[in-house]
Structure 1
Amino acid sequence: MQTVSPAFSCDLKSLIQTNLTARYSHVNRKRVSVLCSYRSESFSFPNGIGSSRADWQSSCAILASKVASAENSSSITRGLADQVAAVNGHSNGSVNLSLVPSETKNGKPGLVQPLTNTDLSPAPSHGSTLRVAYQGVPGAYSEAAAGKAYPNSEAIPCDQFDVAFQAVELWIADRAVLPVENSLGGSIHRNYDLLLRHRLHIVGEVQIPVHHCLLALPGVRADCITRVISHPQALAQTEGSLNKLTPRAAIEAFHDTAAAAEYIATNNLRDTAAVASARAAELYGLQILADGIQDDAGNVTRFLMLAREPIIPRTDRPFKTSIVFAAQEHQGTSVLFKVLSAFAFRNISLTKIESRPHHNCPLRVVDDGSVGTKKHFEYTFYVDFEASMAEARAQNALAEVQEYTSFLRVLGSYPMDMTPWSTLPSEDA
């Protein structure tokens, strides 16, 4: 979080706006949005709060925790709203955050609606319940992962992976739980790119067995299905079963498994089925045409737990460390062999290697006078290895790796998920 401009010199109480929204009229609580202005200069609060970034974050958290007891708060002036700067290139006005259960429908509480980019006003939140952001809607596998990673937490659905990252950075959520790889579908490249773009830290991992179901509206038979929709990963993981169950159906990609189920229920599509979880069928009133349709019973997705601050590495339990690096200029991918050797010589096992295009330098040009000019693609490399940064062998390995790289970043050193896998369906998946 950047510091605040000296021009922004109003009293702290004027930053608070207590507001009830008709969208959440069934919830008996007040929602607060605290707007912050972002500039590069330092700022001193009138009541003596310090000017450092840490002081500002602490004061925001303390302020938000006291707001619940405030009966009457002053509204934010129009001039202050004009001072709110753009966040990640998007202009942000006075936005009310919708982080509690959603609107009523036919007199009954609805489901929590996903966060969107417009919801990401820089308003810190603080409370006794841990808020965990995930991508998708209620019933998604990511929701089950968030519940396993942080039991009894408040799950915050987000419509995009990037929104989940920003929700943690802007103090809307305390943690994020996002998928990075699946045992059948492979890596989720988007989240690897976002790990490098954002400054969150990996503080843990959780692995969820994926139990897919074929869902449709009540009364619909499998032979009446002409279209099957779901997330591309889910479709890839059930390709063989879908060819047998719905051989004449068209396969179409959707942005989320549970959202596909919601789409069918909302639009009353009797010719369309979705690949999603049993929990999604329960939430959206669909019937399960086929259960456990994943092509491999060992279908498991690995999720990362992200936070604003890293955890302290330990040596009393198995730890994993994730790094990202790029080769030195003109060295090319031959550096990868040297990097791997640094771990092999110290008996450190690698569990993951992933390469992604180097966005700042996608091509490397080599001029050979006798042959001509050659162009090679440049990559950044993501590596997971089984060792804690508290161990001397891990520190020595990274010290050697740093000699061969143009940049090296430790994404996190965190406990490994040692939970035994179960291929049986659960109520969350």
Structure 2
Amino acid sequence: MALRAVPIWGCCAKRQHCFLYAKRSDCQAGVSEVGFLNSGGERKWRCSAVLVEAKEKPPLTLSGVASLPGGSGVEEEEPQIAKPSGFHRDLQSLPKPLTAADFSSCPNDASNVRVAYQGIPGAYGEAAAIKAYPSCETVPCEQFEAAFKAVELWLVDKAVLPIENSVGGSLHRNYDLLLRHRLHIVGEVQLVVNHCLLGLPGVRKEELKRVLSHPQALDQCEMTLNKLGVVRVSVNDTAGAAQMIALEGTRDTGAVASARAAEIYGLDILAEYIQDISNNITRYLILAREPIIPGTDRPYKTSIVFTLEEGPGVLFKALACFSLRGISLSKIESRPQRKNPLRVVDASKGSVKYFDYLFYIDFEASMAEPRAQYALGHLQEIARFLRVLGCYPMDTAL
């Protein structure tokens, strides 16, 4: 029998920072603890979760039982699937991606960290999840929002999702989802992208007439694909392009995907590093239900989102909150508010309408540092809305 912690949430007083985690090593009478900082910076403890018995269940693997149960929530006997012959004999055994509407309860297994990512096995998101948690169990999701929901509904422990690329820029969809969902950023992963040209075994790249991949991957390999004179076809993701070629068996069609996708789907790597810019890096965020306790033992980064009152120089004043305290900003992103994108201002010569923006900022300081706390307190005085998305260790290794 194993023990698992059942957290009990409570409301925090205004301006208090609460952090919840179970301490199994020093628990007494089967009780875990909650730690929080009060307004005076003093750490307090109180019991808040009870350890209950739970049966150990084996982790899911890349077999036919790896996919989560369907939307009905009722376990059914797995149908017998005949093994297809050929180089793609194991494709039917890969885990089925989750959809936004396909959520049901799944077994709770604390033996491994379960990490959701967007795409199918062989996607770059899976590689980022493995870099963050080398021994994790990866769970593919069909859409970005499905990965958010999988964490919220306790189907997985973490989600690793892209937020920006050094060539393609920011992924605005995930910025919007960060605000819509109540998850916390607990880490980041910087992944070097190696775009490979894949084809069926024995095919030469000169034989290709079409190349499939995600639109961004096709754009990043424009020069190489132009030299080949191939027709570019957009699909949902890079690993999906490799899977399509393996299933269809079309010899004149290639894919731009990862080297891992070639291994999984039995394809040959016809060329490596075919992107136009060699230094191609994607930054991923690690999301969880609970925040981590910030420290000062390593470089930390804090991500926030806020809106400002109207007036001259308000954005300058907001940024000065950090500059005055010697805090570096590593990123600033503005997004129009989706529900109320236009702000109406009564000017002397009539009404003026312009976009009302949300500002996303990453600054290089830990919430455990007084200077970061003072900066946010100062910003709160001029911001109409302010939310801390997460404080987490910086990824300094490529």
TM-score (ref. length: structure 2): 0.78
Give the aligned partner of residue 391 of structure 1: 369
In the alignment, is residue 210 of structure 1 matched against residue 181 of structure 2? no
Alignment-derived partner of residue 340 in structure 2: 361
Match in the other structure for 2:252: 271
Q: What's the C-alpha RMSD, in Å, of the aligned pairs?
A: 2.5
**1:104, CA displacement in angstroms?**
6.2
Given the alignment, which residue of 93, 104, 119 partners 1:136?
A: 119
Partner of 1:305: 286
Q: Deviation per CA, 1:278-304: give whole Å up to 9, x if none.
A: 111111111122111112221111111
CA distance in 1, matches of 2:75, 2:319: 46
- CA apart distance, 1:111: 1.5
Q: Which residue of 1 aligns with 2:204?
A: 221
Determine the structure 1 residue equivalent to 2:235.
254
Deviations 1:328-371 (A, max 9, x none): 2x448x4221111111111111111111120221001223232x
Is the Cα contact below 8 Å between 1:135 and 1:164 reproduced in 2?
yes
CA deviations on 1:216-243 (whole Å, 9 max, x unpaired) are 1223332332222211221222122222
Shift of 1:177: 0.7
Q: Deviations over 1:121-140 (max 9, x none)?
A: 25573421111111111111
Match for residue 326 of structure 1 among 307, 324, 328? 307
Give the AA of the match of 2:276: D
Superposed CA offset, 1:380-423 (max 9, x none): 1110010000001111111111122111110000000111x3xx
Is 2:326 the counterpart of 1:347?
yes
Distance 2:52 2:273 in 1: 47
Contact 1:177 1:304 in 2 (8 A): yes
Q: CA 1:97 to 1:314, structure 2 compared with 1: closer, same or farther past 3 Å?
A: farther
**What is the aligned-residue identity percentage?**
59
Post-superposition Cα deviations, 1:76-117, rounded to whole Å, max 9, x if no partner, equal xxxxxxxxxxxxxxxx9523589x9x9663396521221122
User: Greater share of strand residues, 1 or 2?
Assistant: 2
Amino acid at match of 2:366: S
Note the C-alpha offset of 1:212: 0.7
1:193-213 alpha-carbon deviations (Å, 9 max, x no partner): 111111110011111100110
Contact 2:97 2:119 in 1 (8 A): yes
TM-score by length of 1: 0.73
Task: Find the residue that maps to 1:389 and give its secondary structure.
Answer: coil
CA distance in 2, matches of 1:405, 1:199: 20
Mapped contact 1:125–1:173 kept (Cα < 8 A): no
Matches within 5 A, 1:24-423: 62=52, 65-66=54-55, 68=57, 94-96=72-74, 105-106=83-84, 110-123=93-106, 125-244=108-227, 246-247=228-229, 249-328=230-309, 330-331=310-311, 334-370=313-349, 372-419=350-397, 421=398
Mapped partners of 2:183, 2:265: distance in 1: 33
**Given that residues 97 and 120 in structure 1 are in contact (C-alpha distance below 8 angstroms), is that contact kept between their aligned partners in structure 2?**
no
Tell me if the contact between 2:71 and 2:102 (Cα under 8 Å) persists in the aligned partners: no
Q: Which of the two has greater helix per residue?
A: 1
Q: 2:328 is aligned with what amino acid?
A: S
Pick closer, same or farther for the CA change 1:216–1:62 going to 2, 3 Å: farther
Unmatched 5+ stretches in structure 1: 1-56, 70-91, 422-429
| Runs of 4+ with deviation above 4 angstroms | none
C-alpha distance in 1, partners of 2:82/2:343?
56
Q: Conserved in 2, the CA contact under 8 Å of 1:103 and 1:111?
A: no
Which stretch of the first structure deviates more once superposed, 372-381 or 315-324? 372-381
The alpha-carbon deviation at position 66 of structure 1 amounts to 2.6
The residue number in structure 1 matching 2:10 is: none
- Report how far residue 251 of structure 1 moved: 1.9
